[in-house]
Structure 1
Amino acid sequence: MDIVIMVGQLILGLSILVILHEFGHFIAARAFGIKVEKFYLFFDAWNFSLFKFNYKGVEYGMGWLPLGGYVKIAGMIDESMDTEQMAGPPQPWEFRSKPAWQRLIVMLGGIFVNIVLGILIFWVLTIKYGETYIPNESLKYGIVPGSIGKGIGLKAGDKVVALNGQKVDRFEDLVSSKVLMGNSVLTVERNNQTLNIKVPGNILNDVSDLGIEQFISRMPRTTFRVDSVVAGSNAQKAGLKPGDSVLAVNGTPVRFYDEFQAQLMQYKNKPVGLTVKRNEATLPLTAQVNKDGMLGFKDGRFGIRVKTDLPEEKTLKFGFFGSLPVGASKAWGTFSDNAKGLGKVFTGQVKANKALSSPIGIARLFGSQVDWLRFWSLVGLLSMALALMNLLPIPALDGGHALFLIIEMIKGKPLSDKFLERAQMVGFVILITLMVFVFGNDIFKIIKK
């Protein structure tokens, strides 16, 4: 059922994006009197479609190959490679008969709609939910770095007070693109000292492999006590009860929850001695740690729930119009971050297999539970990413068509049909190669895990 929910959310999200992207091309073409012959969600490779119908001279349908979608515009060399139509004389209702500036608008129509959609989604989410964050100054005990964070010099309990010389107001900024794009400097307070720690430019490679929690945990450092114990778990068998405070594990003092977790991870599948404070008494208990480093069950389920003293979150609310610049800023930030990420791939700072994902990887982001805030946030992110990808000057993508049209406008005459046909084939090979690479990469990651 988990896989069904993941795949279902993926199909729904991508279908919304593809249909609206293609609608951008469709409506622009119709506005200039250009005939549109087909409007398809997914590709009807070898003319096989799951269903189709005709309405006002346009064939609408769903193909069987879920690698996007397309509109077939008369008089245009596109994915269909319909060279027969191009052999005849240009017709007034064909794409090739229109001025270059009109054709350029048609080509950019899908990208424009994706950008508008991304802004709209983030605008509506801001209206409904506002912005919730943890004030950085309210962290009592600092941060909890993972192996990546420790590798660059961070330590548990550090308080990060500035990023590139600017005060950090939100704890969440420490795991944002401002930091993860690398070449940034964290100003840290540690034991009454102030240190500057540089984040390397290729840190995304490690984050891709190990996860964001291994850089800086999204849970600040906190004290803890047992809130509830799951029946039948190793914690219950050991005698732990709600209200208990664990003072030590095998004689090693633990004050914070991350220290407790770190100690248990050292004794997987082994018994440990716990020093527990209950009311005013101190008790010795023995507990069995499972394979996941928890006092739970053999199948990995948790055995206890803890009560922490995490800082309270703060929520900012905006009005209807006040939410628009906030949402637009989030959308543009997503677009900008993706552009910077691609730049790092092209310059070799980040490996392509660490930065690019196929629909398999995207499905895992949606998760196995329906969370509409998460769903629409991801659709907004993907809409901006789709806009950027289609802007790339690769033949067969909108950006490639736009590039050729700009060249035509500069030269004063169109490029030859033969050149456009060959460029389309080259672009198609590039895209297929890229698709095979990202699918293979995600499958390899699953097998490796």
Structure 2
Amino acid sequence: MEILVKAAQLLLSLSILVIFHEFGHFISAKIFKTRVEKFYLFFNPWFSLFKFKKGETEYGLGWLPLGGYVKISGMIDESMDKEQMQLPPQPFEFRSKPAWQRLIIMLGGVTVNILLAIAIYIGMLWLWGEQYLPTSEANKYGIVADSVAQEMGLRNGDKILSVDNEPVEDFFKIPGKIILDKAKTIQVERDGQPFNVLIPEGFLARLLKHQSPDFINARMPFVIAGFSAESAAKAAGVLEGDRIIGINDLEVLYFDQFREIIPEYRNQDISLKVLRQADTLTFNFRLPESGLIGAMTNPADHFSFKDKQYSFLAAIPAGFNRTWKGVGNYLKQLKLIFSPEAKAYESVGGFITIGNIFPSTWDWQAFWSLTAFLSIMLAILNVLPIPALDGGHVMFLFYEIITGRKPSDKFLEYAQIVGMVLLFGLLIFANGNDIVKLFR
């Protein structure tokens, strides 16, 4: 069921993005009186699931969900319509329009994708505001550093002060700043003293290969917030609100310490020490085979999250700002792919990777946030100067505008073929990475 929910969110998100992207080309072409022969969501080799014609344009739904397209008259595109290009140019065709008009038509898709991201962020900030955990609040008990973070030089209980001497307001943005900005140092407070953690040379690739981006987390005490149906701790007399402080003769003050130690006592009698208001109590019971006491804690009980609300007018500049930062962060991610040190190309994924970023339960706030991110991603990828992408056409149009010479139709045809081969190669590589990861 989780897979179906993720797949449905991915399909809906991609459908929205493709329709808006292609509408950008469509409306730009219409403004300059350029004929649009087809407008399709998804590709339709051999047959269409649904189609109808209105005016001069055929609208339809293809069966291959790898994108979508508009077929503009007199343009060399993925349709590879050579017969039309052999006929004399018509006034309504793309090739008959001035270079500046053709440039606007080609940039129409990515422009609308950026505008869509801005609109989504404005709506999200207006409706839901933004909530985050301030780093100062997360430092209340220090951090929990997983094995990779400890290899990097961090320790459980460290309090992160800055990254490369720059404070980070949102605690959960620290991992992204370390990776995207290729940080060299992390400033922490350790045992009450300032300490400078030097990130090992070449460690970026190790971080990128790490399965979990949350290699650091906020440390918290284990205060009981609820019990499972068959809780051994509850049966022994432990109550909600009790704070676990020890197992047998061991002092265990934090949840991460408890989680690491408790499996060692499965199928054994244990003495669980808890703090109840001002009293220290001990409860004796047998830990089941599962190694679980059947109790849980709630991070929201230990930290004060910052909740910022926006009026509609205040959400507009904030939406622009969030989109701008999103563009900058994605450009940094692309740069990492070509970095020999980072080896980020080994982590490039396809549809499975993209689908997995969606939550396993339907959450509209998460859906729209991810759709905005994917809209930025689609815009940037499409504007790359690769033939067959919008950026490839833009590259040749700039050449024409600067030199005054238009590349021949035959050259553009060959460039389109090369670009399509490259794109299919990248598609196979990315989705091949996904398949390899499934068997690791």
Shorter-chain TM-score: what band? over 0.9
Inter-partner Cα distance in structure 1 for 2:17 and 2:265: 45
Residue among 274, 285, 305 paired with 1:313: 305
Partner of 1:358: 350
SS at match of 2:378: helix
Deviation string 1:389-424 (CA, Å, 9 cap, x unpaired) is 001111100001100111111221211111111111
Q: How does 1:22-61 map to 2 (within 5 A)?
A: 22-45=22-45, 47-61=46-60
Higher deviation after alignment, 236-245 or 329-338: 236-245
Q: How much has 1:223 moved relative to structure 2?
A: 1.2
Partner of 2:337: 345
Q: How much has 1:163 moved relative to structure 2?
A: 2.5
Partner of 1:203: 204
Check conservation: 1:52, 1:62, Cα contact below 8 A.
yes
Inter-partner Cα distance in structure 2 for 1:127 and 1:312: 22
Partner of 1:300: none
Residue among 339, 360, 371 paired with 1:368: 360
Partner of 1:418: 410
Partner of 1:261: 259
Check conservation: 2:208, 2:342, Cα contact below 8 A.
no
SS at match of 1:275: strand
Check conservation: 2:162, 2:188, Cα contact below 8 A.
yes
Q: How much has 1:240 moved relative to structure 2?
A: 5.0
TM-score by length of 2: 0.92
**Alpha-carbon spacing, 1:376–1:34, altered in 2? closer, same or farther (3 Å):** same
Check conservation: 1:222, 1:310, Cα contact below 8 A.
yes
Deviation string 1:313-368 (CA, Å, 9 cap, x unpaired) is 12122222222222112111111111111111112233344442212111111122
Counterpart of 2:414, as a letter, is: R
Q: How much has 1:135 moved relative to structure 2?
A: 2.5
Inter-partner Cα distance in structure 2 for 1:371 and 1:204: 32
Partner of 2:156: 156
Inter-partner Cα distance in structure 1 for 2:207 and 2:228: 35
Matched, 1:193 2:193: yes
Structure 2, gaps ≥5 residues long = none
Residue among 375, 379, 382 paired with 2:374: 382
Q: How does 1:73-84 map to 2 (within 5 A)?
A: 73-84=72-83
Partner of 1:299: none
Inter-partner Cα distance in structure 2 for 1:257 and 1:352: 33
Inter-partner Cα distance in structure 2 for 1:199 and 1:401: 42
Q: How much has 1:178 moved relative to structure 2?
A: 5.5
Q: How much has 1:31 moved relative to structure 2?
A: 0.7
Check conservation: 1:39, 1:59, Cα contact below 8 A.
yes
Inter-partner Cα distance in structure 2 for 1:419 and 1:268: 72
Inter-partner Cα distance in structure 2 for 1:382 and 1:41: 17
Matched, 1:275 2:272: yes
Check conservation: 1:244, 1:276, Cα contact below 8 A.
no
Higher deviation after alignment, 162-171 or 358-367: 162-171
Inter-partner Cα distance in structure 2 for 1:65 and 1:204: 35
Partner of 1:100: 99
Higher deviation after alignment, 79-88 or 143-152: 143-152
Q: How much has 1:184 moved relative to structure 2?
A: 4.3
SS at match of 2:216: coil
Matched, 1:141 2:132: no
Partner of 1:18: 18
Inter-partner Cα distance in structure 1 for 2:298 and 2:114: 42
TM-score by length of 1: 0.90
**Alpha-carbon spacing, 1:231–1:420, altered in 2? closer, same or farther (3 Å):** same
Deviation string 1:9-28 (CA, Å, 9 cap, x unpaired) is 11110000000000000010
Partner of 1:231: 229
Matched, 1:6 2:6: yes
Inter-partner Cα distance in structure 1 for 2:269 and 2:393: 65
Check conservation: 2:53, 2:59, Cα contact below 8 A.
yes
Inter-partner Cα distance in structure 1 for 2:409 and 2:165: 54
Q: How many residues align?
A: 434
In percent, how many aligned pairs have the same letter?
43
